[in-house]
């Protein structure tokens, strides 16, 4: 064990599947394909249940309440009961609504979330697929979510829905620019778009502090922009229950409402996991370049646990935001993006390029 | 093979949502009514359609987004090969971004970034 960093070999599910295909084991190949899909479906449902419960509990404890306590031990089965109830509720399509688009919208919302999940590197052995244009793919695909919201809001033929959808559309596309610019900083540092390689490039230190200041600023911009992209408080003007009833999903009930809700929580996980992957080293343990004993001790904790811990922490931070910051008005929101975050993002990108050019960061890349 | 998984996950999304909707259709009640199906307007009688001409401000930001997002997409290949192209690449990307920043300043001075 001379060099720890080289021991992180990534084997994705699609690699295993193509190896099985090359070896002529058709049964094994289809097995891998189905395992990937079943895993994703179970992960999706479990993650949504856990996150809804976590959100309610955390919200409660921030307000010195107990939250759900009745169903199961400390209300642990509350979200299961809620989803069963939603399943039994009537599904209403309002008169004059565009029926086709109204039904299509939840599909689009969830599709965007699932398509990103496929690429997430959760640990060296736990990643479904890994394309060489990872970051670009993720930014492109997550844009589909906005489409789901716009379709849902417009097709409902409800004034609240329309207002919420338009606000969400303007907000998501605006903040997308800042998020993309801050992701560019990481791409500059690591010189690759492939998500697993970006994680591997952080073996000596995570990008957030490896380049002094630049990484931290990019992380902060990404966090703000992505919280805005998933319509969470303080940027939840598209739902703003005190002014728009429920925003774009006012006219949704029963299962189709549940899928919008699900997509929202999965998006929260996806955003946190991406921030953890790109800036906080993903599944990479906490390493300090040169301290072999310390690094070896850190390697004892499995990579999957590192990934889960980092994502969970960021999810907690996003939930924390909700009880700390008041909601912004739409004009404030647009000013924050176009007049503050965007110029800072450009300057930061330039500084990052300078840092790479002159090797001005800790533990230089080989 | 990676993209087969992408395709399969599209199928998964359709099955996941479609399956949920199907089960709900089988077990949930279904009694539509004229009043129940009316769009929600805080209990008042509905007046007019929601498909109306809308505030142009949203589209202005849509146009701005188009420019800057395409620009960011163009910068990705630059960022990947930046280590090889070095200072020349920095200058070229600088000129490219400068042109766009001029555009941003123009939009700013013209008041396109003000919310009305």
Q: Given this model, what pLDDT does residue A365 score?
A: 52
**What residues make up the domain containing B18?**
2-110
Candidate from B6, B24, B82 with C-beta closest to A118: B6
Question: Is residue B116 domain-resident?
Answer: no
A88/A33 Cα distance (integer angstroms):
32
Candidate from A89, A94, A115 with C-beta closest to B38: A94
- Worst-scoring range by mean pLDDT, A102-111, A116-125, A290-299? A290-299
Which residues 253-292 of A are in CB contact (within 8 Å) with B?
A: 254-256, 258-259
- By the CB < 8 Å criterion, does A85 face chain B? no
For the stretch B77-102, pLDDT in tens is 888 888 888 788 888 888 888 888 88
User: Is the pLDDT score of A216 beyond 70?
Assistant: yes
Q: Given this model, what pLDDT does residue A1 score?
A: 31
Which has more pLDDT, A358 or A4?
A358
A150 close to A170: Cβ distance less than 8 angstroms = no
A235 close to A174: Cβ distance less than 8 angstroms = no
Q: Is the link from the previous residue into B102 a cis peptide, with omega within 30 of 0?
A: no
User: Is the pLDDT score of A136 beyond 60?
Assistant: yes
Q: Given this model, what pLDDT does residue B94 score?
A: 87
Q: Which residues from A are below 8 Å from B104, CB to CB?
A: 338, 342-343
CB-based contact B40 A258, cutoff 8 Å: no
Question: Is residue B60 domain-resident?
Answer: yes
B25/A93 Cα distance (integer angstroms):
13
Segment B14-24 mean pLDDT:
85
Q: Given this model, what pLDDT does residue A362 score?
A: 63
- By the CB < 8 Å criterion, does B49 face chain A? yes
User: Is the pLDDT score of A3 beyond 70?
Assistant: no
ipTM of model: 0.85
Q: Given this model, what pLDDT does residue A21 score?
A: 81
Which has more pLDDT, A50 or A238?
A50
Half-sphere exposure of A161 (CA within 13 A, CB side): 27
Three-class secondary structure of residue A123 per DSSP: strand
The structural domain count of chain B equals 1
For the stretch A65-102, pLDDT in tens is 888 888 888 888 888 888 888 888 888 777 777 788 88
Query: In chain A, whose CA is at the least distance from the CA of B66?
Result: A173
Binned at pLDDT 50, 70 and 90, residue A317 comes out as very high
User: Is the pLDDT score of A2 beyond 70?
Assistant: no
For the stretch A220-258, pLDDT in tens is 999 999 998 888 878 877 776 777 777 777 778 778 888
User: Is the pLDDT score of B39 beyond 80?
Assistant: no
For the stretch A180-200, pLDDT in tens is 889 888 888 888 888 888 888
Among residues A115, A41, A102, A49, which one has the least CA distance to residue A257?
Answer: A102
Q: Which residues from B are below 8 Å from A120, CB to CB?
A: none
**CATH number of the domain encompassing residue B66:** 1.20.58.1610
User: Is the pLDDT score of A5 beyond 60?
Assistant: no
- Worst-scoring range by mean pLDDT, A232-236, A340-344, B48-52? B48-52
Segment A334-360 mean pLDDT:
85
3-state secondary structure chain B: CHHHHHHHHHHHHHHHHHHHHHHHHHHCCCCCCCCCCCCCCCCCCCCCCCCCCCCCHHHHHHHHHHHHHHHHHHHHHHHHCHHHHHHHHHHHHHHHHHHHHHHHHHHHHHCCCCCC
Q: Which residues from A are below 8 Å from B31, CB to CB?
A: 90
**A312 to chain B nearest CA, in Å?**
24
Q: Given this model, what pLDDT does residue A363 score?
A: 58
User: Is the pLDDT score of A310 beyond 80?
Assistant: yes
- By the CB < 8 Å criterion, does B106 face chain A? no
- Worst-scoring range by mean pLDDT, A134-143, A322-331, B31-40? B31-40
Q: Give the contacts of A297 (CB within 8 A, at least 6 positions apart).
A: none
Binned at pLDDT 50, 70 and 90, residue A315 comes out as very high
User: Is the pLDDT score of A4 beyond 50?
Assistant: no
Segment A337-349 mean pLDDT:
88
User: Is the pLDDT score of A316 beyond 70?
Assistant: yes
Query: In chain B, whose CA is at the least distance from the CA of A17?
Result: B1
Q: Calculate the average pLDDT of chain A.
A: 83
Question: Is residue B115 domain-resident?
Answer: no
């Amino acid at each position: 064990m001379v060099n720890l960093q080289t021991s992180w070999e990534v084997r994705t599910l699609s690699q295993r599947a193509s190896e099985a295909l090359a070896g002529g084991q058709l049964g094994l190949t289809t097995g891998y394909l189905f395992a990937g899909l079943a895993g994703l479906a179970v992960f999706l449902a479990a993650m949504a249940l856990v996150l809804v419960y976590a959100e309610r509990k955390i919200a409660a404890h921030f307000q010195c309440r107990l939250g759900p306590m009745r169903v199961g031990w400390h209300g642990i089965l509350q979200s299961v009961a809620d989803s069963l109830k939603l399943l039994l509720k009537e599904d209403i399509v309002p008169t004059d609504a565009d029926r086709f688009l109204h039904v299509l919208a939840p599909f689009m919302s969830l599709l965007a979330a699932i398509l990103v999940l496929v690429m997430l590197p959760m640990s060296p052995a736990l990643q479904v697929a890994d394309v060489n244009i990872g970051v670009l793919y993720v930014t492109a695909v997550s844009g589909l979510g906005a489409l789901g919201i716009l379709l849902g809001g417009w097709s409902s033929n409800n004034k609240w829905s329309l207002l919420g959808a338009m606000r969400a559309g303007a907000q998501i596309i605006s903040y997308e620019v800042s998020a993309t610019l801050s992701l560019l900083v990481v791409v500059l540092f690591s010189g690759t778009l492939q998500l697993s390689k970006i994680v591997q490039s952080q073996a000596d230190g995570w990008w957030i502090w490896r380049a002094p200041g630049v990484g931290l600023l990019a992380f902060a911009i990404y966090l703000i922009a992505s919280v805005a992209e998933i319509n969470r408080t303080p940027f939840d003007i598209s739902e703003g229950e005190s002014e728009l009833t429920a925003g774009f999903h006012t006219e949704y009930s029963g299962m189709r409402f549940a899928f919008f809700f699900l997509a929202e929580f999965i998006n929260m996980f996806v955003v946190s996991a991406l921030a953890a992957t790109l800036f906080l080293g993903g599944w990479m343990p906490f390493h300090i370049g040169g301290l072999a004993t310390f690094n070896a001790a850190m390697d004892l904790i499995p990579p999957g646990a590192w990934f889960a811990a980092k994502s969970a922490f960021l999810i907690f931070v996003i939930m924390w935001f909700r009880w700390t910051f008041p909601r912004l008005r739409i004009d404030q929101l647009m000013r924050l993006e176009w007049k503050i975050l965007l110029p800072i993002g450009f300057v930061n990108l330039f500084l990052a390029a300078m840092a790479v050019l002159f090797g001005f960061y800790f533990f230089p890349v080989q | 093979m990676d993209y087969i998984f992408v395709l399969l996950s599209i199928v998964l999304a359709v099955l996941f949502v479609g399956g949920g909707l199907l089960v709900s259709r089988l077990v949930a009640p279904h009694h539509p009514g004229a009043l129940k199906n009316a769009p929600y307007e805080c209990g008042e009688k509905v007046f007019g359609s929601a498909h109306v001409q809308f505030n142009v401000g949203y589209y202005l930001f849509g146009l701005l987004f188009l420019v800057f997002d395409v620009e960011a997409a163009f910068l990705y290949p630059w960022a990947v090969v930046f280590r090889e192209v070095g200072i020349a690449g920095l200058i070229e990307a600088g000129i490219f971004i400068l042109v766009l920043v001029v555009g941003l300043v123009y939009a700013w001075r013209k008041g396109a970034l003000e919310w009305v």
